Structure 1
C-alpha cells in the first residue's frame, strides 16, 4: 500500500516491474489497431434506430437492402470491394433504407458507419441516437488518414454533397490529404453504399454525381451494383408533384406538365406571406411537423451579444429571422442551433435556408420563392438573378448559377409529405407557376 507521501517509492516499485516491457511494440499495435465498436454499443444504436423507424420497406427498397447485406457478408473474405449506388429523387426513401440498413448491420455485428456531408443531418441523428452511439455517425471528411478497409460497410447518405477534397480552411497542414474525398470513402470501406440525387447539388463545390461515383468505382476495380428508386413516401405518396416541380423548373422533362388539383397533396399559393405563415403555424398547432423556408435572397446576420437573431427576411411588414448560423456560439433561450432547427419544435420561429432544410422532411413546408430565380415570359426561360442572391459562393458560380438555384427550389418545394405552401416575391413567376396548375 502506498500513501500520498510515497510517490517516489511507488515510482521505484513500478519501474522495477514494468520498465523492461515491449512498450514501442505495444504502442504501435494500439496506433495501428482497427477500432470496432462493442457488441453492446452496436445493439444500443440498433435498438434506438429500430424504435424510431416509422416505415416498412417496399419491394424495390428491399432489393437494395438485401444486396447490401449480401455484400457485407462477402466483404469479410472477398478481396474485391463492392460499391452500391442508389439513385432516387426527393421522397423515394433513400434515407429510410440507409437508416434501416445501419440498424440491421450493427445488430448483425458489422462495423458500419453512416456518413453525410450535412452537419444539420448528422447532428440530428446523433441527438436521436445519443452520445453512446454517435461515434458511428460521421461526415464525409472524417476519413482522412484512416486505415484501408477499416469499416465493413460505409453508408454515404446524400452523396451528391461529396466534395473534391476533405481539406478545408480549418484543416491543419500536417493533416491535409492529397486524395479526392471519394477516394478516402472507398479506401476506408469494404462495402461503400452511396445514396444520391444528381439534382440536389446546390453548391458549386459539391461534385457528387452518379457518373463521378461510377468513374472512381471503375478506377478502383470495384464490383458495382446500381439501383433507382421511384416509389414515393413524401408528397402524399405520389410522384406526380415531384415530377411536376422538376418539369416546371425546367430541370427534367416529365409527363406531369400540369398539376392535378385532385391530388391528395395539399399545394397552395398564397398572395400574402403572413397568411402563409399563419397556415404553417396552424398545422404545427394541430400536431403536424411544419417549417417555413426561403430561397437565399436575404443576408444572414450573426446573433447579437445576447444571442438574439436579427429579422433578416423582410417582405413588407413580414419580418422573421433566418435559423441560427452554424458557427453561432451564444444563442438566446428558445433558439435552436442551426443543426437542430429541423428537429427542435422552436425551429418554427425561424426561416430555414437550403443548408439546414436539405435532407429533412416535414408534414407541411412553407416556401418563400425569392427573386434570385424568375421566369421570363418573353424568352420563355427561367433566368437567374445573382444580384438578388445573398449566397456568396453560389453567386460566384456564374455558369452554374441558374442550375444550382433551380435545384435549391426543387429541394425546398419537395420537403413536405402532406403539403407545400408557396409565396412568390416575383408575381410574373407566380403567374407562370399558376399556369401550370389545372383549373387555376
Structure 2
C-alpha cells in the first residue's frame, strides 16, 4: 500500500490487483471513506483480459501465488480453461508489472502462481525479470523467527521438522486445551483495545443463515459452538459481510476460514486445527475425509495445500497466536514442544 501511494503521489499511474475478493473489497471500503476516486486503483487479476497493452505505468500484483491458469472461469467440454495465460495478460497490461508472492500460501486447487511461472511467461514474451527476495518482513510483528518456526512445524521448506518453542520478546505464542479458553484469551485482548480473530481449517459444514439472518453455529467442539463468518456480501443484523470479517469489529465471535483470513492481519490470531491435519507418531497425516472444502479435498496435492492453509492462519497475528487442535494427540504435541499453556476455561488461566 505504501508503494502504491508513493507512486501515485509522484504522478505515476499505479494500480493494485489481487485474486482475493475479500482483500480487494476491504481495501476499496477503507479507501472510499477518504477518496472515492482512489478506490478505482484496486482491481482483480482477471480484469485485464482486454486491457490496452502498457496502459498502466505500474501494476502491483499482490498475493500473486493466487494467479489462475487463465482469466476465463468457464471450462469447455470439461477440459482445461480456454484463453491466454493470466500471467501474460498482467505482464502486458503495464509498463512495469510487479509480482509479490509467497509460494507457501498456495491453498486452493487451480492456483498456479510461482516464481518459475512468472519467469517462464516473461521469457516467452521477451521481458526482462528482476527478482528481489524480501529477506525482511513485517508479518507477525516483524518476527521471522516465528514464521520459520511455523514452517518447520508444518514441514514446509525446511529439513528439520517441528522444533521446540523458544519464547520471543516480540511475539507471544500459546496453546489452548479448549476452544473456550482460546476465545476467552482473545476476547480479553479485544477488551484491551487490540484486534483478535479465530479461524479454523475447513472441517465443519457451512450452513446457510436462518431466515432472519442468524448464523448457524456449525463449528462444534464438545459443548462449544460458534458460527462461521457470514457468506453474505452485505451487512445484515449487525453481522459484517464476508469481505469485512477480518476488519469489522463485529467479526469477533465468528470463526473465519482461509478465504476470509488470507491477506489480512490482526493483533492476535486464534487457530483451530481440524481433523484434516493430525500428528501421528513422528509426522503429519492429512485426512481428505475430514475436510469439507470441495476446492481442496479433491486436489492431488491435498496434504501440501492443507499444511499451507494452517501456515497462513497461524501467521495472521502481529503480536501473538493461540493454537488449538480438535485432535487430542496433535494438541498434546503442541504442548510437548514447550508452547506455554493458556490460562482460562479448561486450562489453568493466563497471565
| TM-score between both structures, scaled by the size of structure 2 | 0.90
For the pair 1:363 / 2:267, whether they are aligned, the reply is yes
Q: Over aligned residues, Cα RMSD in angstroms?
A: 2.0
Preserved CA contact (<8 Å) 1:261 1:437: no
Higher relative contact order (CA 8 A, sep 6+): 2
The Cα shift of 1:261 comes to 2.6
CA distance in structure 2 between the aligned counterparts of 1:366 and 1:439, rounded to whole angstroms: 14
CA distance in structure 1 between the aligned counterparts of 2:267 and 2:155, rounded to whole angstroms: 26
Residue 122 and residue 331 in structure 1: after superposition, are their counterparts in 2 closer, same or farther (change >3 A)? closer
What residue in structure 2 maps to residue 212 of structure 1? 117
The Cα shift of 1:113 comes to 0.8
Preserved CA contact (<8 Å) 2:234 2:240: no
Residue 189 and residue 329 in structure 1: after superposition, are their counterparts in 2 closer, same or farther (change >3 A)? closer
**What CA deviation, in whole Å up to 9, does each residue of 1:140-169 have, x standing for no partner?**
011111111111110000000000111125
Residue 341 and residue 439 in structure 1: after superposition, are their counterparts in 2 closer, same or farther (change >3 A)? closer
**What CA deviation, in whole Å up to 9, does each residue of 1:398-431 have, x standing for no partner?**
x200000000000000111111011111111122
3-state SS in 2 of match to 1:133: helix
Match of 1:312 among 192, 215, 218: 218
Moved more, 298-307 or 363-372: 298-307
3-state SS in 2 of match to 1:394: coil
Residue 144 and residue 236 in structure 1: after superposition, are their counterparts in 2 closer, same or farther (change >3 A)? closer
Preserved CA contact (<8 Å) 1:240 1:259: no
3-state SS in 2 of match to 1:186: helix
Preserved CA contact (<8 Å) 1:110 1:152: yes
CA distance in structure 2 between the aligned counterparts of 1:251 and 1:428, rounded to whole angstroms: 21
3-state SS in 1 of match to 2:27: helix
- Going by fraction, where is helix more abundant, 1 or 2? 1
Match of 1:333 among 237, 240, 253: 237
Match of 2:187 among 261, 277, 281: 281
What residue in structure 2 maps to residue 60 of structure 1? none
Preserved CA contact (<8 Å) 1:306 1:330: no
Preserved CA contact (<8 Å) 1:243 1:254: no
Moved more, 400-409 or 214-223: 214-223
CA distance in structure 1 between the aligned counterparts of 2:234 and 2:263, rounded to whole angstroms: 25
3-state SS in 2 of match to 1:227: coil
Match of 2:96 among 191, 195, 208: 191
The Cα shift of 1:262 comes to 4.7
Structure 1 gaps of 5+ residues are 1-98, 171-175
What residue in structure 1 maps to residue 150 of structure 2? 245
For the pair 1:107 / 2:9, whether they are aligned, the reply is yes
For the pair 1:133 / 2:38, whether they are aligned, the reply is yes
What residue in structure 1 maps to residue 310 of structure 2? 409
3-state SS in 1 of match to 2:28: helix
Preserved CA contact (<8 Å) 1:375 1:432: yes
What residue in structure 2 maps to residue 66 of structure 1? none
Residue 264 and residue 153 in structure 1: after superposition, are their counterparts in 2 closer, same or farther (change >3 A)? closer
The Cα shift of 1:304 comes to 2.0
Structure 2 gaps of 5+ residues are 76-80, 342-351
**What CA deviation, in whole Å up to 9, does each residue of 1:188-238 have, x standing for no partner?**
111100000001000011100111111111111112111111224233432
3-state SS in 1 of match to 2:297: helix
The Cα shift of 1:330 comes to 6.4
For the pair 1:233 / 2:138, whether they are aligned, the reply is yes
CA distance in structure 1 between the aligned counterparts of 2:144 and 2:51, rounded to whole angstroms: 40
Preserved CA contact (<8 Å) 1:336 1:346: yes
Q: How does 1:17-56 map to 2 (within 5 A)?
A: none
For the pair 1:384 / 2:286, whether they are aligned, the reply is yes
What residue in structure 2 maps to residue 297 of structure 1? 203
**What CA deviation, in whole Å up to 9, does each residue of 1:313-359 have, x standing for no partner?**
1111111111111xx36653210010111111101121110010001
What residue in structure 1 maps to residue 332 of structure 2? 431
Residue 438 and residue 384 in structure 1: after superposition, are their counterparts in 2 closer, same or farther (change >3 A)? closer
The Cα shift of 1:133 comes to 1.6
CA distance in structure 2 between the aligned counterparts of 1:439 and 1:301, rounded to whole angstroms: 35
What residue in structure 1 maps to residue 347 of structure 2? none
CA distance in structure 2 between the aligned counterparts of 1:304 and 1:340, rounded to whole angstroms: 20
What residue in structure 2 maps to residue 56 of structure 1? none
Match of 1:266 among 166, 172, 175: 172
The Cα shift of 1:248 comes to 1.1
CA distance in structure 1 between the aligned counterparts of 2:9 and 2:73, rounded to whole angstroms: 35
The Cα shift of 1:109 comes to 1.4
The Cα shift of 1:100 comes to 1.2
